[in-house]
Amino acid sequence: MTDIFISSDNILSPIGLNTAVNFERLKQDNSGIKKQENKEMSEQPFYAALFENDFSENGLPDIFTRFEKLLVASVEDAFSKTNVKATDKKTVLIISTTKGNISLLETEILSDELNKRISLNTSAKLVADHFGFVNQPIIISNACISGMLAILTGMRLIQSGQYDHAVVTGADLISKFVLSGFQSFQAVSPSVCKPFDAARDGINLGEGAGTVVLTSNKEYSSGIKVSGGSVSNDANHISGPSRTGEELNIAIGKAMKMAQVTSGDIGFISAHGTATLFNDEMEAKAINLAGLQSAPVNSLKGYYGHTLGAAGLIESIISIQSLKENTIMPTPGFESMGVTQPVNVSTTVIQTPLQHCLKTASGFGGCNAALVFSKQQNQQ
Amino acid sequence: MSNDLYITASSSINTNIVSKNELLVFENKEPDLSQFLLSVYRHLDTQYPKFHKMDNLSKLGWLANEVLLKDSFDTAKYKPEDIGIVLSNANSSLDNDIKYMETVKEIASPALFVYTLPNIVIGEISIRHKFKGENAFFINEDFDAAFIQQYVGNLMHNEVLQCCICGWVEALGENYKAVLFLIEKDKSSNSVIFTKENLNKIYQIENG
């Protein structure tokens, strides 16, 4: 199979405007999650990681919504660090999101025109045309694994020979629509979330965007490969995870097989770790089924909150940076073990030689995803 | 030609007509989509109480899949993780998103919120038949046969899947359309080769 390299990346979050700034601030234990008092979104105060700007500074026409401006800003920064060109006929744009422009439902009057404006095809066309992509963009909306599935799709499209490069971007913004939904599920923590902790009591939501530029051209590589990936379905419940973790384990096993690694090769795991009771318990079971219980595990949800369609991208990019810097990130909010199966939760910044890492996520609809990232052989 | 993949069955629900392998299964002029879908469910004569909790998009996709697999699919032939689902539409879950947003003005409905993602229909089909393989939901302006053929073909040629249900499931207001294809590696009596042209041909016919 063709090797798929990471050429460049961007994280645009309330923590910072690019990957380097995000990574530095995470090392200093800076979280983007704050107490929010926004009556338009919620009668009660809530904790979330939200942007304080509207991305108007990048000078796009008013026709671009905040969601589209966020995507453009993230892709622009990723393009500034790679030789991959949007206008290359072997480059494809892949966009991942769960809710895109859904906040328009809160402010606009229902009409066919509004439906067209909310359609992700409209957003994708605006973003693709802005950069001059020649191929039709691909849009993925597959709940909380969207960002990871988008990376996996980019990998597959390049390996099939159809494209040489894939610009994989994803974003989600938080509005009343999404917040009220998670509140209605009683899934939102009343404070900062505590992944894998005994006292964990739900998620925080977060806004953000992430972009990775994938390429088969080794000369464009930044030193990291996407070496394996897989998706599975629980076939159990649409809004609750598997009780056994067996299906996430299937995805992990297939991703590791594709990457030609075994459990002892995995330097760390970047888990989904949403800090709900059921998710973290299921992940702990899957990690044990995969024989990965001694590998350090982190959840970045205490920094970013759950950034939905961007989460798989943002957390993969932090993992990629971790491999580059031989630095495992901690799990803010975790104090005492709160899952029944042993997992080695990372609690401080750890410096250690790293070769491979595993990223996992799960989402509504029973979907699970696993990706393996690896250093190129000649990199230390 | 050992690399060929086959469309071993197709189904469609569109313009008040349900069909399988391009043959009429059921017709009902009922103008209300929810009522029409209920009549299709009754026609299929299955007992599945969860059906009644689904949004229209999930009902539509779930029913189209029941028609697709009924009397002709041998689940036991495959391991659960070898059967995948790849679906697409133009408007994501907007139909249910609008209904959910109506409830937010009073009390937000968790029962509706869970359907505010397009891939929930994949979850519903997976639960029904215990399919545990690769799944993906793509948004396209129109049914993109070339992309589906390329993506699903790639999954099956690379042994990621041995069998895949793919196609188009769209519902927005009273406009709806579902066309599903069953893709397998072995020929069957009325199968055709899995090509972009055959997908488009069936898609057009099933659209009447």
Contact B117 A183 (CB under 8 A): no
Residue A375: pLDDT band with limits 50, 70, 90: very high
Q: Is the pLDDT of residue A370 over 90?
A: yes
| Predicted pLDDT of residue A53 | 81
> Domain for residue B198, yes or no?
yes
Chain A residues whose beta carbon lies within 8 Å of the beta carbon of residue B134: 230-232
CA distance B101 to chain A (A): 7
Threshold 0.95, pTM exceeds: yes
B117/A364 touch (CB, cutoff 8 Å), yes or no: yes
Please report the pLDDT score of residue A121 as a whole number: 98
Q: What is the per-residue pLDDT across A226-262, written as a single tens digit (0 to 9) for each?
A: 999 999 999 999 999 999 999 999 999 999 999 999 9
Mean pLDDT of A158-174: 98
**pLDDT for position B190:** 87
> CATH number, domain at B82?
3.40.47.10
Cα–Cα distance measured from residue B37 to residue B43, given in angstroms and rounded to the nearest whole number = 10
Q: Would you say B63 and B124 are in contact if contact means Cβ atoms under 8 Å apart? A: no
**What's the rounded Cα separation, in Å, for the pair B54 and B114?**
10
- Compute the average pLDDT of residues A320-334: 98
Mean of pLDDT over chain A: 97
The answer, for A171 touching chain B at a CB cutoff of 8 Å, is: no
pLDDT digits (tens, 9 = 90+) for B122-132: 999 999 999 99
Of the candidates A115, A231, A363, the beta carbon closest to that of B134 is on: A231
Number of H helices, E strands in chain A: 11, 16
Using CA atoms of A194, A195, A197, A199 in order, give the dihedral in degrees to the nearest 10: 40
pLDDT digits (tens, 9 = 90+) for B137-179: 999 999 999 999 999 999 999 999 999 999 999 999 999 999 9
Summarised one tens digit per residue, pLDDT across range B96-123 is 999 999 999 999 999 999 999 999 999 9
Which residues 175-234 of chain A have a CB within 8 Å of chain B? 176-177, 180-185, 230-234
Please indicate if any CB of chain A lies within 8 Å of the CB of B196. Answer: no
Residue A149 distance to chain B (closest CA, Å): 8
Please give the pLDDT value at position B206.
64
Domain assignment present for residue B1? The answer is: no
Residue A380 has pLDDT above 60, yes or no: no
Tens of pLDDT, residue by residue over A110-127, are 999 999 999 999 999 999
* Cβ-defined contact of A99 to B114 (cutoff 8 Å): no
User: Minimal Cα distance from B53: which residue of A?
Assistant: A238
Contacts of B138 in chain A (CB under 8 A): 138-141
Rounded to whole angstroms, the Cα distance separating B61 from A117 reads 24
pLDDT in tens, B53-62: 999 999 999 9
Q: Between residues 63 and 92 of chain B, which touch chain A (CB distance below 8 Å)?
A: 80-81, 85, 90-92
Q: Which of A136, A180, A232 sits opposite B81 (nearest CB)?
A: A232
Interface test with A, best of B78, B81, B88 (most A CBs within 10 A): B81
Is the pLDDT at B208 greater than 60? The verdict is no
Query: Distance between CA A274 and CA A278 in Å, rounded?
Result: 9
Within 10 Å of residue A270's Cβ, how many Cβ atoms? 27
d(CA A276, CA A339): 11
- Please give the pLDDT value at position A54: 77
| Nearest-CB residue to A142 (from B132, B133, B137) | B137
B95 Rama sector, left if φ>0, alpha if ψ -120 to 50, beta otherwise: alpha
Contact list, B92 vs chain A (CB under 8 Å): 100, 119-120, 141
- Write a three-state SS string for A172-233: ECCCHHHHHHHHHCCCECCCCCCCCECCCCCECEECEEEEEEEECCHHHCCCEEEEEEEEEE
What's the pLDDT score for residue B28?
A: 97
Tell which A residues from 253 to 272 touch B, by Cβ distance under 8 Å: 254
Chain A nearest-CA distance from B36, in A, is 23
Indicate the residue type of B18. Answer: V
* Tokens standing for residue B180: 């599903």
Residues facing A357 on adjacent strands: A268, A373
Residue B26: pLDDT over 90: yes
| Structural domain total, chain B | 1
pLDDT of A377: 80
B207 pLDDT band (50/70/90 cuts)?
Answer: low
Chain A residues within an 8 Å CB radius of B174: none
Q: What is the mean pLDDT of residues A208-213?
A: 98
Per-residue model confidence (pLDDT) at position A17? 96
Binary contact (A139, B117; C-beta < 8 A): no
Query: Taking CB atoms and an 8 Å limit, are A232 and B104 in contact across chains?
Result: no
CA distance B23 to chain A (A): 30
Residue B151 domain boundaries: 6-206
Asked if A120 reaches chain B (Cβ–Cβ under 8 Å), the answer is yes
| DSSP state string for A41-62 | T-SS-EEEE--SS-SGGG---T
The pLDDT tens digits of the residues spanning A32-46 come to 999 999 999 999 999
Q: Give pairs for A119-125: CB < 8 Å, separation 24+.
A: A119/B90, A119/B91, A119/B92, A119/B94, A119/B139, A120/A95, A120/B92, A120/B139, A121/B90, A121/B139, A121/B140, A121/B141, A123/A65, A123/A67, A123/A68, A123/A71, A123/A95, A123/A97, A124/A93, A124/A95, A124/B139
The mean predicted confidence, pLDDT, of chain B is 96
Query: In order of start, what are the domains of chain A with their CATH numbers?
Result: 4-220 (3.40.47.10), 224-375 (3.40.47.10)
Closest-CA distance of chain A to residue B24, Å = 30
In this prediction, residues A342-366 reach a mean pLDDT of 98
